[in-house]
Amino acid sequence: KKYVYTFGGGSAEGDKSMKDLLGGKGANLAEMSSIGLPIPPGFTLSAEVCKFYNENDEAWPEGVEAQLQEGVAKLEKLMGLKFGDSEDPLLVSVRSGAAKSMPGMMDTVLNLGLNDRSVQGLANKTDNTRFAFDCYRRFIDMFGNVVMGIDHEEFEEVLQKLKDEEGVELDTELGVKELKELVDRYKAVYRKSTGYMFPQDPNEQLHHAINAVFGSWSSKRAKTYRKINRITGLLGTAVNVQAMVYGNMGEDCATGVCFTRNPADGTNELYGEFLVNAQGEDVVAGIRTPRNIDELKDDMPKSYEELVEMTEKLEQHYQDMQDIEFTIQQGELFILQTRNGKRTGVAAVKIAVDMVDEGLISQKGAVQKLVEPGHLDQLLHPQLNQSDISEDEIIGKGLPASPGAAVGKVVFNSDKAEEEHGKGEAVILVRIETSPEDVGGMSAAEGILTSRGGMTSHAAVVARGWGKPCVAGCDDIVINYESQSFTNGEVTVKAGDWISIDGARGIVIKGKKPVEEPSFGENYHTFMNWVDEIRDMAVRTNADAPEDAKRAREFGAQGIGLARTEHMFFGEERIKAMRKMIISETESERREALVSLLPYQKQDFIDIFDAMEGLPVTVRLLDPPLHEFLPDEEEEIESLAKELKIPLRDLKRKIRLLKEFNPMLGHRGCRLGITYPEITEMQSRAILEAAVHLKKQGKTVLPEIMIPLVGTSEEFIHQHEVVDHVAAEVFKEAGESVEYKVGTMIEIPRAAIVADKIAEEAEFFSFGTNDLTQMTYGYSRDDAGKFLEIYMQEGILKDDPFQILDEEGVGSLVKMATEKGRKARKDLKVGICGEHGGDPSSVRFCYNLGLNYVSCSPYRVPVARLAAAQAKL
């Protein structure tokens, strides 16, 4: 079996389609090699080896060792160098790379192959002894840290001590003699910490490093990152072993990272940072402040030209914006890595529209791969009102690392961020810089502020990926962890104080600023037009207030899939009438109370139908258990008794009677309408009178009346008859009629099972996957939080089934009910209105089942539109 794939010299054994096996980095290196880009050659150990390693006590599968040796031999041949050679050694980097990018999660070792002999070889070759020993001491540090787990600080202390002894301030002021001394001292640190000598055999170094990468796959921080980002189903990480090239051999060398377009706003410009005479880690780690890529044009015009050419070639080849790492070694450009660049929502949409305009990709291609549903979600994020902020309120300016406004209380460490977030507090995580250990806290925070690091620092990359506001590298402020505060010299902000950040402008403001809704640009509309041209499944919204309906319509909703009428009973006057209805002892009392509710309901429907004029509106009849409408505080009960003019004791008795052991399985849904048909009558009347009213104004209204929680066709027939009876009355009274449909929710497993029988009567189905999930799993939707987290940690559940439709179980019921329903009624309209209607993977599932529409909350509508289009492609 093949485990090791070589690349370089214009060919490769792998290609970009092999991400699962070779990881993103390995697959792209192979691809770049095949299309003739200048990459340092090497080979990739497949992720299968990692899986085996982690499952078999750190052993390798049979045959890997031999293939590894072949890979090394081939690399030596390509480079014309020998591993560990004392004249001119082959040196390699060892990097992780999984199928999904995990910034900073995995570890890298550079300069592997250096030892007491080959360091001389490197010195000879480069004619630069200082450089060689500098590489060697970095290697010992990195190897010690990454592979052996020695704290990097231990090396730093030794370095600082030596610098103090020598009376110098900068690393670069250390000469050859001092660096040789430093190497010895580093080796001593290594020996003291590990109990072993620093390994001199390059082969042994290589094995250690490869194993360390495999091991880091199951480290806590890698697991946390995967959990937060819901990365599952991967084998492990691949390992890339690649010939070293140097950006730190002198002033004609450089290293950098760049995006082929601006990842924050999408502008078509080379965007990135570089450092002259430095190694890649220096840029990413944010130790030295990197320079703007534009300056490379002046420093190294030829290399800059080449870089521009390469970025164009890469964009054309990948048809996507690329995130590139490069190194210039003595004037020669090497591409070390490329991947599709992470970007903000605004940038994603602009890049998609621009790339289509530039003829780089088709409209379909752009919809399919250049914008993710989550990007659109970001576009809907709130912003700070610019005019609301005066210059003197700004206490710091940093890099606009990730757009959006965030307001919260300052916390200085990640555990605290998680803790406060758990209590429902909004927090801003403020760190000098972030590291992978902070991902939990970053995820918990509303926004992130760092005082150090560039646009490609850990904080910036992670925040952009999540669409979380971030201001990075804000060096106006000095953070003091000890005193739990930061200051810009004039203003001091303490832990717990409120700040507001604007990640699009990179500004920090003291205090709590109001945030406002975003507006969409022209690019958004252009892009969404393409989405809608492709898409054929409709997207509706769940809305029960006219404002929500209006907003959803602006977001592109094609109707209402679920108007929950119970939400309409919570106004001050209404709740009174509702409560009166609920505690009524007799039908006539109940009817009396309902009569006073009717005008409210009717007006609500007029407003909603009006907002959705010309589009279908599904109104669901009363669903929740009645006691939800009753007060439970003593005081409230007393005042209700007074208001209704009944003895307190009677009211309390009534409330007691209405209490249920299992309300979600109790007297709710159509069971209410069947036991109290007058409720269904009132609601149907309100709906149909509203419809008639608007029709008389010449408006088109398409009401669909939905019966909730049906489990038998008899229940449905009963309610259907009540509705039809009222309709006949209303139309006769009004001398006008409207077309209406009567259908049902499918949210009880039994309903899914007898869907054919129900479909004989019902004109449409709408899957209430919230209840359907609740009842299929038997997990209370209101209590599952207590154990779902643990279930996911233990791998018992992959996802929260209330967020992502459980395709295997609940999805099977949806599928079966759809098929059975359509068999009984060919033109049965089928949709979904549970929370899953706004989740991209669930939308795809619904599309594949042939559902007519998904319905989701207003803010999810654009997301669902895109997901529906992508499902088709």
To ligand PEP, the closest distance from the beta carbon of 613 in angstroms equals 24
How distant, in Å, are the alpha carbons of 592, 681, 685, 701, 730 from that of 595?
5, 10, 11, 24, 15
620 is in an annotated binding site: yes
- The binder of 833, among Mg ion, ligand PEP, none, by C-beta within 5 to 8 A per type, is ligand PEP
| Angle 505-506-511 from CA coordinates, rounded to 5° | 100
421 assigned to active site: no
To ligand PEP, the closest distance from the beta carbon of 772 in angstroms equals 6
- Whole-angstrom Cα distance, residue 808 to residue 429? 39
- Looking at the Cβ atoms of 120 and 769, the one nearer to ligand PEP is 769
- The binder of 503, among Mg ion, ligand PEP, none, by C-beta within 5 to 8 A per type, is none
Task: Give the residue among 116, 291, 143 at the shortest CA–CA distance from 208.
Answer: 143
- Looking at the Cβ atoms of 68 and 670, the one nearer to Mg ion is 670
Please report where in the chains the tokens 């179980």 appear, as a residue: 809
Residue 561 lies near Mg ion (rule: CB under 5 A): no
- Looking at the Cβ atoms of 444 and 562, the one nearer to ligand PEP is 562
- The binder of 769, among Mg ion, ligand PEP, none, by C-beta within 5 to 8 A per type, is ligand PEP
What are residue 320's DSSP bridge partners? none
To ligand PEP, the closest distance from the beta carbon of 744 in angstroms equals 12
Say how many C-beta atoms besides its own lie within 10 A of residue 255's C-beta. Answer: 28
Size of the site for Mg ion (CB under 5 A): 3
165 is in an annotated binding site: no
Query: Number of helices (H) and strands (E), helices first, in the chain?
Result: 34, 34
- Looking at the Cβ atoms of 535 and 627, the one nearer to Mg ion is 627
- The binder of 815, among Mg ion, ligand PEP, none, by C-beta within 5 to 8 A per type, is none
Confirm if 25 and 240 have CB atoms less than 8 A apart.
yes
226 is in an annotated binding site: no
- Looking at the Cβ atoms of 689 and 747, the one nearer to Mg ion is 747
* Distance in Å from the first CA to the final CA of the chain: 34
Question: DSSP assignment of 837-850, as one string?
Answer: GG-HHHHHHHHHTT
To ligand PEP, the closest distance from the beta carbon of 773 in angstroms equals 8
579 is in an annotated binding site: no
- The binder of 564, among Mg ion, ligand PEP, none, by C-beta within 5 to 8 A per type, is ligand PEP
Q: Which of 48, 85, 771, 839 binds Mg ion (CB under 5 A)?
A: 771
- Looking at the Cβ atoms of 48 and 747, the one nearer to Mg ion is 747
To ligand PEP, the closest distance from the beta carbon of 614 in angstroms equals 24
Contacting range for Mg ion; rule: CB under 5 A; set: 462-470, 650-658, 724-732, 771-779 = 771-779
CB under 8 A, 24+ apart: contacts of 412-421:
412/479, 412/481, 412/484, 412/495, 413/441, 413/481, 414/438, 414/439, 414/440, 414/441, 414/442, 414/444, 415/440, 415/441, 416/441, 416/495, 417/441, 417/442, 417/444, 417/445, 418/444, 420/444, 421/445
- Whole-angstrom Cα distance, residue 755 to residue 849? 15
To ligand PEP, the closest distance from the beta carbon of 844 in angstroms equals 18
- The binder of 834, among ligand PEP, Mg ion, none, by C-beta within 5 to 8 A per type, is ligand PEP
Residue 544 lies near Mg ion (rule: CB under 5 A): no
Please report where in the chains the tokens 């660096």 appear, as a residue: 179
> What letter does residue 10 receive in the DSSP assignment?
T
Confirm if 328 and 304 have CB atoms less than 8 A apart.
no
Tokens in use for 375?
């990007």
- Looking at the Cβ atoms of 37 and 539, the one nearer to ligand PEP is 539
844 is in an annotated binding site: no
833 assigned to active site: yes
- The binder of 26, among Mg ion, ligand PEP, none, by C-beta within 5 to 8 A per type, is none
- The binder of 821, among ligand PEP, Mg ion, none, by C-beta within 5 to 8 A per type, is none
Site string for Mg ion, 198-217 (x = CB under 5 A): --------------------
771 is in an annotated binding site: yes
Q: Which of 673, 711, 768, 862 binds Mg ion (CB under 5 A)?
A: 768
Contacting range for Mg ion; rule: CB under 5 A; set: 290-298, 332-340, 654-662, 768-776 = 768-776
- Whole-angstrom Cα distance, residue 271 to residue 266? 10
Confirm if 23 and 99 have CB atoms less than 8 A apart.
yes
- Looking at the Cβ atoms of 616 and 768, the one nearer to ligand PEP is 768
Tokens in use for 22?
């070779």
- Whole-angstrom Cα distance, residue 22 to residue 2? 12
To Mg ion, the closest distance from the beta carbon of 152 in angstroms equals 54
- Looking at the Cβ atoms of 121 and 768, the one nearer to Mg ion is 768
Task: Give the residue among 101, 221, 181, 196 at the shortest CA–CA distance from 143.
Answer: 196
Site string for Mg ion, 738-757 (x = CB under 5 A): ---------x----------
To Mg ion, the closest distance from the beta carbon of 770 in angstroms equals 5
- Looking at the Cβ atoms of 508 and 814, the one nearer to ligand PEP is 814
What is the SS3 assignment for 37-101? CCCCCEEEECHHHHHHHHHCCCCCCCCHHHHHHHHHHHHHHHHCCEECCCCCEECEEEEEEECCC
Contacting range for Mg ion; rule: CB under 5 A; set: 206-214, 291-299, 569-577, 769-777 = 769-777
Active-site position among 50, 833, 846, 856: 833
- Whole-angstrom Cα distance, residue 273 to residue 281? 13
- Looking at the Cβ atoms of 397 and 564, the one nearer to ligand PEP is 564
Residue 420 lies near Mg ion (rule: CB under 5 A): no
What is the SS3 assignment for 100-124? CCCCCCCCEEEEECCCCCHHHHHHH
Residues lying near ligand PEP in the complex (CB under 6 A) are found at 562, 564, 623, 747, 768-771, 833-834
> What letter does residue 268 receive in the DSSP assignment?
S
The residue number whose beta carbon is nearest to ligand PEP equals 768
- Whole-angstrom Cα distance, residue 651 to residue 78? 89
Residues 463-502 that bind Mg ion (CB under 5 A): none
Active-site position among 381, 458, 627, 720: 458
769 is in an annotated binding site: yes
Residue 604 lies near Mg ion (rule: CB under 5 A): no
Say how many C-beta atoms besides its own lie within 10 A of residue 347's C-beta. Answer: 26
- The binder of 89, among Mg ion, ligand PEP, none, by C-beta within 5 to 8 A per type, is none
To ligand PEP, the closest distance from the beta carbon of 564 in angstroms equals 5
Q: How many residues does the chain have?
A: 873
To Mg ion, the closest distance from the beta carbon of 709 in angstroms equals 7
To ligand PEP, the closest distance from the beta carbon of 588 in angstroms equals 30
Non-local CB neighbours of 508 within 8 Å, separated by 6+ positions? 394, 395, 396, 397, 398, 449, 471, 474, 476, 477, 499, 500, 501
Confirm if 873 and 367 have CB atoms less than 8 A apart.
yes
Indicate the annotated binding residues: 564, 620, 747, 768-771
Point out which residues bind Mg ion (CB under 5 A).
Answer: 747, 768, 771
- Tell me the binding residues for Mg(2+): 747, 771
Annotated binding site for substrate: 564, 620, 747, 768-771
- Positions marked catalytic: 458, 833
